[in-house]
Structure 1
């Protein structure tokens, strides 16, 4: 994927994201427009700065953003969150009970695995939802699916592949996937990816898309940035932003993002889960990152939602007056795996 660095944010060069209301105002910079699922991507004339056009459109009260690149958040400089490691098989037996809870999973896809063999939700997946088998983040979605399956047994997954094998996507792809969920919104939505925005303000179309899923609890990772810089979509008011703590569940994992915008935390250090069956891996791996802490929080909310609406379950689990809090990491959600 072609990308451009703007500070510590990444954008698709020559593109801005908007809705139809801004098309006429942006006409003088426009070379072409691609529209799908209620989202317009304006391809700008050569030499036009997407950030400058965005600023001018926003001054006119229009919804616009550079087409930010979002990542599944590996640690490119190395460390425990940078890659998965092979691990022996995990003794988990999925139960036969089923709940009515649906968890949306936007990620790299999900591959075949014994933990969900024979389930209705996996049988409904098409080849376009299969997990990537090549790239630095291949298996990311399968790993998260296993954490969700163990933390919320009986819940069904609704999978949409938005990340490539290297864990990359763009804002337009994610917003379109969110818009397609509106007819059948999930109870809980796991978003284990994100990024910084060029101006540290919330990307408006991404914010609108998540807020539009009014009955859904969106849970997003705080990023493996070791920084308090807002990370989107986790920092949105309409999302539950999740940081990672270490294996003791006492301290922030050194790679985790943090700050007043973080709502919850869970263990993200050396978790074991389902994985690809290829190379050195026999279907299982150990991995670290806020992506996986996010799955534990999303799974805990989904498990509680079998008895009450997901919004009420999240409110109860993340009640800062009754649950343990860690400064700049929010409410601790125990792993319980």
Structure 2
């Protein structure tokens, strides 16, 4: 999370700044690229949901909240990009606000993804319990509300722990002190626990699908495996690095440099997840079809065709009536004579 994450992950004393732990590379431009791709992908998905899909659908409720979470997470990227390119230039209030926004997007994304997995588990594996759609919808809405409440509450706590200070003429937005308990809780509650739930639920879903009579199971299996793989690839290395950092702090400059290079790569994978979610949603054939229709302006064309057809029908009817009237006119004149 830019410089203050690096500070939080082991660099909190004055001596640490004597080491050059800046990771060379394209972190700033990479954040801008992720920002652009995420805004485009999530905005298109948002348009598909509002134009073509019924938002009363349970899955679409989760997807809508997940899109909002990704967009909230995404709007922090330009700030971290500037931070990597020029250090922190936005002041203390923006440091706290952007930190809170970052964690709202991060926490809610994980919680919503886990809640959506549990909902699919209930729909596929526990279908014999005959939980009606009204109850499932109620549970889904409550889960989304809980995800936002938990995320906002946790993010406010994180925001209060950061501040801006100047070191050697450069400003840094960073944690004032290390909190090992917080590290353990974040890694445990926001990765290992959700990942365990996702693995359990999708294992049961796959077992149910493979035992079923539906011969389209291979596509379903592929989609589920992609979701699990994306979650693990994007979030796994980052949280493993957090766990390693809570147990081991590099002492010399070379070890710190190596650690931050590894951390930088894992951080990039984490940020890229906000771009991956729209792609995973587009694995659905229906959503993909809607997206193609949206890109071709299918709705607008259809409305124009309907308007043109209506005008043609009206003109044809009017023309037929005039012709019929002209045909009847001589007959009436002849009968009068």
Shared fold by TM > 0.5?
A: no
Bigger radius of gyration among the two: 2
More contact order relative to length (CA 8 Å, sep ≥ 6): 2
Which of the pair is proportionally richer in helix?
A: 2
TM-score band w.r.t. shorter chain:
under 0.3
